[in-house]
Amino acid sequence: MGRTRVRLKDVAEATGYSVNTVSLVLRGSSRLPLKTRELILKEAERQNYVPNQLARSLILQSTKMVGLVLTDIMNPTITKTARSIELDLAAKGYGVMFASSDNELANEKRALNHLQSSQVDGILIYPTNRSEISHIQNIAKSGYPILMLSDIPDANLDVVAIDDIKGGNIAVSHLIEQGHKQITVLDGAKDLGNSDKYDGAVAAVKAAGLPDSAIKIVDPEGHAAIHGFAAMQKAWASTPRPTAIFASTDSLAIGAARWCRENNLNIPQDVALVGFDNTEAAEFCSTPLTTINYASEDVSKHAVERILSRIEADNATEDTVITLIKPNLVTRESS
Partner DNA sequence: TTGAAAGCGCTAACAC
Partner DNA sequence: GTGTTAGCGCTTTCAA
Sites of contact with DNA (CB under 7 A)? 2-3, 5, 7-9, 16-21, 23-24, 26-27, 31-33, 36, 51-52, 55-56, 58-61
* 138 near a second copy (CB under 8 A): yes
Element (H, E) at 159: strand 158-162
Min separation Cβ 214 and a second copy, Å: 29
Q: If we measure between CA atoms, which residue out of 242, 304, 134 comes closest to residue 232?
A: 242
Q: For residue 171, what is the DSSP state?
A: H
Q: Which of the residues 315 through 334 are near a second copy (CB under 8 A)? A: 315
Stretch that binds a second copy, among 10-18, 135-143, 163-171, 195-203 (CB under 8 A): 135-143
Is the backbone peptide bond immediately before 268 cis, with ω within 30 degrees of 0? Answer: yes
Residues 284-313 that bind a second copy (CB under 8 A): 284-286, 311
By beta-carbon proximity to DNA, the closer residue of 59 and 316 is 59
Q: Are strands 158-162 and 65-70 parallel, antiparallel or unpaired?
A: unpaired
Q: How far is the CB of 44 from a second copy (least distance, A)?
A: 13
Shortest Cβ 56–a second copy spacing (Å) = 8
In the list DNA, a second copy, none, the entry touching 63 (Cβ below 5 to 8 angstroms by class) is a second copy
Given a contact cutoff of 8 angstroms between Cβ atoms, the answer to whether 297 and 333 are in contact is: no
Let me know how long the chain is: 335
Q: Does 251 bind a second copy (CB under 8 A)?
A: yes
Q: Which is nearer to DNA, 20 or 156 (CB)?
A: 20
Minimum Å gap between C-beta 36 and DNA is 4
- The minimum distance between CB 97 and DNA, in angstroms, equals 18
What distance in Å separates the CA atoms of residue 123 and residue 307, rounded to the nearest whole number? 8
Choose the stretch contacting a second copy; rule: CB under 8 A; options: 12-20, 68-76, 147-155, 204-212: 68-76
Q: How far is the CB of 206 from a second copy (least distance, A)?
A: 33
Q: How far is the CB of 98 from DNA (least distance, A)?
A: 23
CA distance 109 to 106: 5
Q: Could you give the CA distance from residue 25 to residue 30 in angstroms, rounded to a whole number?
A: 8
Nearest distance from residue 119's CB to DNA, in Å?
9
Assess contact for 234 and 228: CB atoms under 8 A: no
Q: How far apart are CA 243 and CA 239, in angstroms?
A: 11
Query: Closer CB to DNA, residue 61 or residue 264?
Result: 61
Phi-psi region of 48 (alpha: psi -120 to 50; beta: other; left: phi over 0): left
- Measured CA to CA in angstroms, residue 150 lies from 160, 162, 196, 197, 331 at distances of 7, 7, 11, 12, 25
Per-residue x/- marks for a second copy, 21-60, CB under 8 A? ---------------------------x-xxxxxx-xx--
How many chain residues bind a second copy (CB under 8 A)?
58
Q: Applying CB under 8 A, does 261 fall inside the site for a second copy?
A: yes
d(CA 140, CA 137): 5
Distance CA 17, CA 209 (A): 82
CA-nearest of 179, 246, 240, 194 to 218 is 246
By CB under 8 A, name the binding residues for a second copy. Answer: 1-4, 48, 50-55, 57-58, 61-63, 73-74, 76, 79-80, 82-83, 86, 95, 97-98, 100, 113-114, 116-119, 121, 138, 142-145, 224-225, 229, 251, 254-255, 257-258, 261, 280-281, 283-286, 311, 314-315
